[in-house]
C-alpha cells in the first residue's frame, strides 16, 4: 500500500469514530457468533491505526492493545484477504510474533477476516484464535467473511446515523441563525408555500402589519391592488421577479404606511416552484421626506418666479425713475449754464458750485441705474477678448481721462474671458471711473491667469476701506463679479494709489 493509500485508509478509519469507544452489544454478539462458527474459545474485533492495534470488543479473554508492529492482524493488512494459519508456530510470518511466543499470548491457531469498507479501505479484522492447532473448512471461512461484512455494515449504519444527526443539528442551527438574522433586520420578510400558505413571517413583518387584516393599495392609497397582482402571487405564478413595487398598506387601527416590495419564486434545483418570498421595506419616512422636498422645491420655484418679477419691476422702476430724475436735472444744468453768463464774478462761484452738485447728482442716478442692472440682468457668457472691452471703456471715458490728466495703459497681454460682455464692460467702466476720482497720472490694466487687476497712483482709499468696496458704483462691481462666480478685493499700493483685483473663473459644466 502506498503512503497516499495508507493516509486515505487512516482518514476513513477516523471518520467512523470507532477508536476508544465503548463496545456495542451488537458487536459483542457478532464476535461471539464468530467464535462459535470457528469452534474456538477466543475471538476479537481489531481496529488498526498508524501506531497501534485496538481491540474494540473481545470474547474469551480480557483483551489488550498493542503496538502495530506486534499485531498479528497487521502482517497481511495491506492485502485485504482472509488469513488462515493452522499452526502459527510453524508459519514463517508469525512464529516469532510476541502473541505466539508467549510474550503477549500463546496463540497457535489464528484466522482473520478483513473489515473492508465500501470504498475499499481495510479498517482492521475479525479475528478468531486458539491455543491448539486447528483448521477451518471453506464453509467456516465463508461464514466468517459474512460476519466481517455485517460488522462493516454496522459501522456504516452508525456513521450514517451520526452524520444525519449532525446534519439535522447543523440544519436546525442554520435555521435558528436565519430566523435570528431575519428578526434582526428592519425589512419585513414573508414566505409562502405553493398553496399560498404563510411559512415564514419575521419580526419586522409582524410589526408592519397583521396578515389577516392587511389591505394593499396602489401608491395613491385609494385604489385596491387586485389579489392576482399582489407581489407574492405574481412571484408564485412564475411571473416575477417583482422589484421596487410601490404600495400603500392600510389596516384597522393603524396609520397607512408606504412600502416598497421585492418578490421572487423559491425554486428547487430542477426548477420546481417551492413557494415564494417577498421583502417589504417601510419607506413612509423616505416618501414623506421626498414629498417635503418636492413641496420645498415648488415653493422655491414660486419664490424665484416672484423674485424675477420683482427684479424686472425694480429694473423698470429704476429706469423710469432715472429718466424722470435726469430730465429735470438736465434742465437745471442748462439754466445754471445760462445763469453763469449773466451774473457777476462774486455770484459765479455759487452757480458753478450748484452746477457741480447737479453733475454729481446725475452721476449718482446713473450709478443707481447701473446697480439695478448689475443685479437683475441675465448673465450670458460668451468668449470675448478683454482688450476689446478695455478699449471700449477707454473710448467711453476719454473725456474724463483727459480732464484728469491721466493715461490708461495695458502693459501686458490680456486674455479672452468667458463672460457677459455687457456686465463686464460695466464693471471695467465703474472701476476705471472710480480710479479717476483719485486724480491719478496713470491707470494700468493687467491680467494673470483668471485674475484681472486695475491699479492707479492716485489718492489711496482710507485704511478702513482696503478690504471692502464702497460706494454705489463699486457695489455694482461686487454684484457683477459675484454673478460670474468670482471674487473682488482692493489693496493699497506701497507707492500710493489703489489696486482692485477681480477674478472671473471659467464656468463649470454640470
Q: Who's near 371: CB < 8 A, 6+ residues apart?
A: 472, 473, 475, 476, 479
Mean per-residue pLDDT, 75-95: 94
Give which of 40, 465, 438 is closest to 454, Cα–Cα: 438
Mean per-residue pLDDT, 105-122: 94
From first CA to last CA, the distance across the chain in angstroms is: 75
CB-based contact 430:370 (threshold 8 Å): yes
> Residue 218 has what pLDDT?
87
| pLDDT bracket for residue 467 (50, 70, 90) | very low
Compute the distance between CA of residue 28 and CA of residue 34 in angstroms, rounded to an integer.
10
| pLDDT bracket for residue 372 (50, 70, 90) | low
> Helix, strand, coil % (nearest 5) of the chain?
50, 25, 30
Residue reference for cell 409582524 = 206
Mean per-residue pLDDT, 263-281: 84
Homologous superfamily assigned to 3-163: GAF domain (3.30.450.40)
Compute the distance between CA of residue 148 and CA of residue 155 in angstroms, rounded to an integer.
11
Which of 137-151, 238-252, 343-357 has the least mean pLDDT?
343-357
What's this model's pTM, rounded to 2 decimal places?
A: 0.44
User: For 492-501, what is each residue's pLDDT tens digit?
Assistant: 888 788 999 9
Cα–Cα–Cα angle for 14, 16, 21, nearest 5°?
85
Alpha-carbon separation of residue 299 from 131, 231, 309, 313, 376 (angstroms): 109, 36, 15, 21, 21
CB-based contact 218:248 (threshold 8 Å): yes
Q: Which three cell numbers stand for residue 200?
A: 415564514
What is the average pLDDT value for the chain, to the nearest integer? 83
Q: Which helix (H) or strand (E) holds 308?
A: helix 284-342
Q: How do 407-409 and 442-448 pair as beta strands?
A: parallel
pLDDT of residue 403 exceeding 90, the answer is: no
Compute the distance between CA of residue 200 and CA of residue 182 in angstroms, rounded to an integer.
10
- State the maximum Cα–Cα separation within the chain, in Å, rounded to a whole number: 169
Q: Which three cell numbers stand for residue 114?
A: 478483513
Give which of 107, 117, 104 is closest to 83, Cα–Cα: 107
φ/ψ of residue 493, rounded to 5: -75, 145
CB-based contact 123:158 (threshold 8 Å): no
CB-based contact 55:28 (threshold 8 Å): no
DSSP 70: G
CB-based contact 59:51 (threshold 8 Å): no
Mean per-residue pLDDT, 422-431: 88
Alpha-carbon separation of residue 126 from 110, 361, 387 (angstroms): 11, 127, 111
* Fold of the 380-503 domain: Heat Shock Protein 90 (3.30.565)
Mean per-residue pLDDT, 340-365: 68
Compute the distance between CA of residue 496 and CA of residue 461 in angstroms, rounded to an integer.
10
> Residue 140 has what pLDDT?
95
> Residue 137 has what pLDDT?
96
Q: Who's near 63: CB < 8 A, 6+ residues apart?
A: 44, 55, 57
pLDDT of residue 236 exceeding 60, the answer is: yes
Q: Between 349 and 367, whose confidence is greater?
A: 349
Mean per-residue pLDDT, 32-42: 95
Compute the distance between CA of residue 124 and CA of residue 50 in angstroms, rounded to an integer.
12
Q: Between 281 and 350, whose confidence is greater?
A: 281
Alpha-carbon separation of residue 49 from 13, 69, 121 (angstroms): 8, 11, 12
Whether residue 241 is preceded by a cis peptide bond, meaning omega within 30 degrees of 0, is yes
pLDDT of residue 462 exceeding 50, the answer is: no
> Residue 115 has what pLDDT?
95
- Strand ranges across the sheet with 498-503: 407-409, 442-448, 451-456, 498-503, 487-492
The CATH number of domain 186-282, selected from 3.30.450.20, 3.40.190.10, 3.30.1490.150, 3.50.50.100: 3.30.450.20
Beta bridge partners of 125: 46, 114
| pLDDT bracket for residue 469 (50, 70, 90) | very low
φ/ψ of residue 324, rounded to 5: -70, -30
Alpha-carbon separation of residue 446 from 2, 15, 335, 420, 424 (angstroms): 92, 89, 43, 19, 15
Alpha-carbon separation of residue 394 from 64, 357, 401 (angstroms): 120, 25, 8
Which of 11-15, 107-111, 155-159, 367-371 has the least mean pLDDT?
367-371
> Residue 454 has what pLDDT?
93
Q: Which of 147-151, 197-201, 307-311, 467-471 has the highest mean pLDDT?
A: 147-151
Q: Which three cell numbers stand for residue 374?
A: 448689475
> Residue 325 has what pLDDT?
65
Compute the distance between CA of residue 153 and CA of residue 148 in angstroms, rounded to an integer.
9
How many helices and strands in the chain, by DSSP H and E?
Answer: 12, 19
Alpha-carbon separation of residue 484 from 189, 313, 419, 481 (angstroms): 53, 23, 7, 5
Compute the distance between CA of residue 241 and CA of residue 232 in angstroms, rounded to an integer.
10
Judge whether 3-163 and 186-282 match in fold. Answer: yes
| pLDDT bracket for residue 368 (50, 70, 90) | low
> Residue 129 has what pLDDT?
97
Length of the chain, please? 510
Compute the distance between CA of residue 127 and CA of residue 54 in angstroms, rounded to an integer.
12
User: For 284-298, what is each residue's pLDDT tens digit?
Assistant: 777 778 777 878 788
CATH code at 292-372: 1.10.287
Which of 38-42, 259-263, 316-320, 370-374 has the least mean pLDDT?
370-374
Would you kindly state where each structural domain of the chain is located, as residue ranges?
A: 3-163, 186-282, 292-372, 380-503
Amino acid at each position: 500500500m502506498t503512503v497516499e493509500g495508507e493516509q486515505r485508509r487512516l482518514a476513513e478509519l477516523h471518520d467512523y469514530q470507532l477508536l476508544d469507544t465503548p463496545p456495542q452489544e451488537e458487536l459483542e454478539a457478532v464476535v461471539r457468533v464468530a467464535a462459535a462458527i470457528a469452534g474456538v474459545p477466543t475471538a476479537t474485533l481489531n481496529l488498526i491505526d498508524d501506531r497501534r492495534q485496538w481491540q474494540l470488543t473481545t470474547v474469551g479473554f480480557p483483551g489488550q492493545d498493542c503496538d502495530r508492529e506486534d499485531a498479528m492482524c497487521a502482517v497481511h493488512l495491506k492485502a485485504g484477504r482472509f488469513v488462515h494459519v493452522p499452526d502459527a508456530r510453524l508459519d514463517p510470518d508469525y512464529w516469532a510474533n510476541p502473541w505466539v511466543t508467549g510474550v503477549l499470548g500463546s496463540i497457535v491457531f489464528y484466522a482473520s477476516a478483513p473489515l473492508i469498507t465500501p470504498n475499499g479501505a481495510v479498517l482492521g479484522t475479525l479475528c478468531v484464535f486458539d491455543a491448539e492447532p486447528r483448521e477451518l473448512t471453506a464453509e467456516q471461512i465463508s461464514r466468517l467473511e459474512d460476519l466481517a461484512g455485517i460488522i462493516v455494515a454496522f459501522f456504516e449504519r452508525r456513521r450514517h446515523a451520526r452524520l444525519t444527526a449532525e446534519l439535522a443539528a447543523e440544519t436546525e442551527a442554520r435555521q435558528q441563525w436565519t430566523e435570528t438574522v431575519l428578526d434582526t433586520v428592519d425589512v419585513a420578510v414573508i414566505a409562502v408555500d405553493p398553496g399560498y400558505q404563510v411559512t415564514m413571517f419575521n419580526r419586522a413583518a409582524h410589526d408592519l402589519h397583521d396578515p389577516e387584516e392587511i389591505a394593499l393599495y396602489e401608491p395613491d392609497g385609494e385604489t385596491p391592488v387586485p389579489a392576482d397582482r399582489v407581489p407574492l402571487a405574481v412571484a408564485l405564478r412564475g411571473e416575477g421577479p417583482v422589484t421596487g413595487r410601490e404600495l400603500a398598506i392600510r389596516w384597522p387601527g393603524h396609520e397607512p404606511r408606504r412600502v416598497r416590495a421585492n418578490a421572487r419564486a423559491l425554486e428547487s434545483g430542477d426548477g420546481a416552484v417551492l413557494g415564494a418570498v417577498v421583502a417589504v421595506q417601510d419607506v413612509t419616512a423616505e416618501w414623506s421626506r421626498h414629498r417635503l422636498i418636492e413641496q420645498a422645491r415648488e415653493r422655491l420655484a414660486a419664490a424665484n418666479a416672484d423674485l424675477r418679477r420683482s427684479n424686472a419691476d425694480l429694473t423698470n422702476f429704476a429706469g423710469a425713475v432715472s429718466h424722470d430724475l435726469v430730465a429735470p436735472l438736465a434742465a437745471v444744468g442748462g439754466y445754471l449754464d445760462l445763469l453763469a453768463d449773466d451774473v457777476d464774478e462774486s455770484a459765479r462761484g455759487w452757480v458753478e458750485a450748484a452746477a457741480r452738485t447737479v453733475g454729481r447728482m446725475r452721476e449718482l442716478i446713473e450709478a443707481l441705474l447701473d446697480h439695478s442692472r448689475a443685479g437683475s440682468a441675465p448673465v450670458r457668457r460668451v468668449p470675448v477678448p478683454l482688450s476689446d472691452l478695455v478699449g471700449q471703456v477707454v473710448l467711453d471715458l476719454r473725456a474724463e481721462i483727459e480732464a484728469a490728466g491721466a493715461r490708461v495703459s495695458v502693459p501686458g497681454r490680456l486674455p479672452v474671458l468667458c463672460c457677459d460682455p455687457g456686465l463686464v464692460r460695466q464693471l471695467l467702466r465703474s472701476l476705471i471711473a472710480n480710479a479717476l476720482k483719485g486724480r491719478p497720472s496713470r491707470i494700468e490694466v493687467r491680467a494673470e491667469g483668471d485674475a484681472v487687476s486695475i491699479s492707479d497712483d492716485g489718492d489711496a482709499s482710507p485704511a478702513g476701506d482696503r478690504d471692502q468696496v464702497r460706494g454705489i458704483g463699486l457695489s455694482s462691481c461686487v454684484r457683477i463679479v459675484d454673478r460670474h462666480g468670482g471674487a473682488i478685493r482692493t489693496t493699497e499700493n506701497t507707492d500710493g494709489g489703489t489696486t482692485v483685483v477681480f477674478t472671473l473663473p471659467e464656468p463649470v459644466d454640470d
